[in-house]
Amino acid sequence: MRTYSDTNNYNKSEKKMGLTLGDGFSRRKQIENEFNTWINRLKLAGKDTIRYQTKEIEGDKKFKAIPGSKKEFKRTYSIEECRSKIGELIEEDQKLALRISLTNQKAKAKLIDLDGNEVELTIPQLILLKNDIAPKLEETAQAIPKVAKGVEVLNIKDNSIQWRSIYPLYKKKQSLSEQGHKIEEEYIEYYNVEENIDFGFDERKVYDEIDKIHDWQHRLKEAINQANKTELIELE
């Protein structure tokens, strides 16, 4: 758990080395954890408590603790100390969020897009592509119908094939042999026939498209990582 000295060391380190966007995001997560810790400490800072067992609550021996039953619980932090620390964290988080917002508007990274062109994008643009656009493109590619294989092809056109599938429906009938034995025979009562005009894409082309999107998603992540190395803008 980060203490006062940890936070001070962090601030000193920032002044010496500078803070990148990635560092800023990490620090905001740390601030959130520290904030929750100090909120819990504040909730416990309201009182000191003594617990014990007694046999009498009136008379000369009233509230005399039974030996070995007394326990004391003292607060570790004062209300003022907790509120002061929480205030420092809120102020730091507010300034850090503003610095991140300002830097996000200027930080850029280059990458090769889906069309093979090199583009330079800001972090908000990269995150939009990674979190919103890329998943939709991948879902679309995954949903593309693939042309059937191993079927009886009846006709081939430029953008489709016609094929037929046949499903026999079997039934059983019973009869008696000349010797009076029961005989069970299976026969085809009718055929279910399905004729299709298939507009599906070649399976290899579909998978190539999916692989292309996956490669692009990887480049997006690398570009975001590179942009996150941008040093945070200082507030005036």
pLDDT tens string 102-121: 998 889 999 999 999 999 99
Same domain as 76, residue 29: yes
Backbone angles phi, psi at 194, to 5 degrees: -125, 120
Closest by Cα among 84, 78, 80 to 7: 84
Please, which residues have CB within 8 angstroms of residue 47's CB and are 6 or more apart in sequence?
75
Same domain for 133 and 210, yes or no, is yes
By C-alpha distance, which of 74, 49, 48, 52 is closest to 64?
52
158 and 67 belong to one structural domain: no
Answer yes or no: is 27 within a domain. Answer: yes
Q: Is residue 88 part of a domain?
A: yes
Q: Give residue 25's pLDDT.
A: 93
Which residues are CB-neighbours of 222 under 8 A, at least 6 positions away? 111
**Mean pLDDT for all residues in the chain:** 89
Q: Are residues 226 and 177 in the same domain?
A: no
Q: 177 and 211 share a domain? A: no
Question: How does residue 8 score in pLDDT terms, banded at 50, 70 and 90?
Answer: low
pLDDT in tens, 38-79: 999 999 899 888 899 998 899 888 989 999 998 988 889 999
Q: Is residue 81 over pLDDT 60?
A: yes
- Indicate the pLDDT class of residue 1, thresholds 50, 70 and 90: very low
Q: Is residue 146 part of a domain?
A: no
| Same-domain status, 176 and 213 | no
Asked if residue 10 belongs to a domain, the reply is yes
Residue 145 located in a structural domain: no
Confidence category of residue 235, pLDDT binned at 50, 70, 90: confident
User: Would residue 15 count as lying in a domain?
Assistant: yes
Instruction: Write the pLDDT tens digit of every residue in 135-190.
Output: 999 999 999 999 998 888 999 998 999 999 988 999 988 887 777 778 888 888 89
Q: Vertex 91, ends 90 and 96: CA angle to 5°?
A: 95
Work out the number of other CB atoms within 10 angstroms of the CB of residue 85: 20
Does residue 208 register a pLDDT over 80?
Answer: yes
The answer to whether residues 122 and 21 touch, using CB atoms and an 8 Å cutoff, is no
Which two tokens mark 166?
A: 């046949």
Last residue of a domain, one of 104, 132, 164: 104
Clarify whether residues 74 and 9 are in a common domain.
yes
Q: Is residue 175 part of a domain?
A: yes
| 17 CB-side CA count, 13 A | 12
> Is residue 85, in this structure, part of any structural domain at all?
yes
150 and 161 Cβ atoms separated by less than 8 Å: no
Q: Are residues 222 and 234 in the same domain?
A: yes
Does one domain contain both 60 and 114?
A: no
Q: Which helix (H) or strand (E) holds 156?
A: strand 152-156
Q: 59: phi > 0 → left, psi -120 to 50 → alpha, else beta; which?
A: left
Judge if 13 and 92 occupy the same domain.
Answer: yes
Number of structural domains (the chain) is: 3
pLDDT band with cut points at 50, 70 and 90 for residue 18: confident
Q: Are residue 99 and residue 118 in the same domain, yes or no?
A: no
Report the predicted TM-score, pTM, of the whole model to 2 decimal places: 0.67
* 178 plus 118 within the same structural domain: no
For the chain, percent of residues with pLDDT exceeding 90: 66
**Domain limits for position 119:** 108-140+203-236
